[in-house]
Amino acid sequence: MSKVIQNGRIVSSDWQIVTVAEGEEAAAVAIPAGRVIVPLAAWLARRDELAARGDVGVWFASNEGPEALAADIARMPVIAVNFPKFVDGRGYSTAVLLRTRYGYTGQLIAFGDVLRQQFNYLSRCGFDTLQPREGRYSDAELDAAVANLNDYTEPYQASVLHPQPMFRRIARAGAKA
């Protein structure tokens, strides 16, 4: 079980993320029993079989967007977004769209190259669960990293976490104050 930060607390996640090996067909990948998160392609190829299980979530690769899952988003028990490299920022937009356009309110996991310096941005974009790569952080580091969720406590712009921008959220003093 992986250690993750969920809603600001370190917990063990029992969701198993099914990954696709080099050369393997995502649609044909072996899907074990239990709580699993499968690649989008697998879901799309075997939707009826997987939907019937009720314990299957979907993960998006960084070049995939919520559009492809639209009809099923509301019923997902969990959705995850892969960050193959932390510099690949497409997953932030994926999260924002899931939360704001597709009305997804369930658990949303960022996994892969998920680093402390991104925690604040990731959570503001709507990820409630951050799953750094296995072994990336020691327990002590992960403990300390929880604080990074709050790197910026009162940001300017609207986001999933702050639906109103600062200029609507706070009465700010002006030049003449």
Partner 1 sequence: MYRYDAYDQKLVDERVAQFRDQMRRHLAGELSDDEFRPVRLQNGLYIQRHAPMYRISIPYGHLASRQLRKLAYLARTYDKGYVHFTTRQNVQFNWSPLEVIPEMCAELAKVEMHSIQTSGNCIRNFTSDPFAGVAGDEHIDPRPWAEILRQWATFHPEFAYLPRKFKIAVNGATEDRAVIQVHDIGLDLKKNEAGEIGFRILVGGGLGRTPIIGREIESFIPWQHIITYCEAILRVYNRYGRRDNSFKARIKILVSALGIDEFRWQVREEWAHIKDGPNTLTVEEVHRVADFFEDPSYENLLADDAGYHHHIAEDLAFASWVKRNVRAHKKPGYASAVLSLKKPGVAPGDITSDQLDLVADWADRFSFGEARVTHEQNLVLADVKQSELFTLWQLARKAGLATPNIGLLTDIICCPGGDFCSLANAKSIPIAAAIQERFDDLDYLHDIGDIEINISGCMNACGHHHVGHIGILGVDKNGEEWYQVTIGGSQGNSAAIGKVIGPSFARAEMADVISEIIETYIEERHEDELFIDTVRRIGLEPFKARVYAERQPHKKVANV
| Candidate residues 34, 101, 105, 133; the one interacting with partner 1 per rule CB under 8 A | 101
How near is the Cβ of 83 to partner 1 at its closest, in Å?
9
Q: Does 106 bind partner 1 (CB under 8 A)?
A: no
Place of tokens 């299957």: 56
Q: Which residues contact 140 (CB under 8 A, 6 or more apart)?
A: none
When asked if residue 86 is in the footprint of partner 1 (CB under 8 A), the reply is yes
Residue 129 carries which DSSP code?
E
**Which residue from 28, 129, 135 is spatially nearest to 80, judged by alpha carbons?**
129
* Per CB under 8 A, 151 contacts partner 1: yes
Q: Based on the shown chain and the rule CB under 8 A, indicate whether residue 146 belongs to the binding site for partner 1.
A: no
Distance between CA 125 and CA 128 in Å, rounded?
Answer: 9
Q: Is 52 in the site for partner 1 (CB under 8 A)?
A: no
CB of 79 to partner 1, least distance (A): 17
| 9 closest CA partner among 114, 103, 145, 156 | 145
Pick 48 or 67: Cβ nearer partner 1: 67
Residue (49 or 156) nearer to partner 1, CB:
156
Contact in structure between 170 and 156 (CB atoms under 8 Å): no
**Which of 29, 161 has the CB closer to partner 1?**
161
| CA distances for 133 relative to 27, 41, 53, 72, 111, angstroms | 24, 22, 27, 27, 7
Q: Is residue 12 at the binding interface for partner 1, with CB under 8 A as the rule?
A: no
- Comparison of 7 and 117: residue with beta carbon closer to partner 1: 117
- Tell me which residues in 119-138 interact with partner 1 (CB under 8 A): 120-122, 124-125
Task: End-to-end CA distance of the chain: give it in Å, rounded.
Answer: 54
Residues near partner 1 (CB under 8 A) = 65, 86-90, 92-93, 96, 101, 115, 117-118, 120-122, 124-125, 141, 148, 151-159, 163-168, 170, 172-177
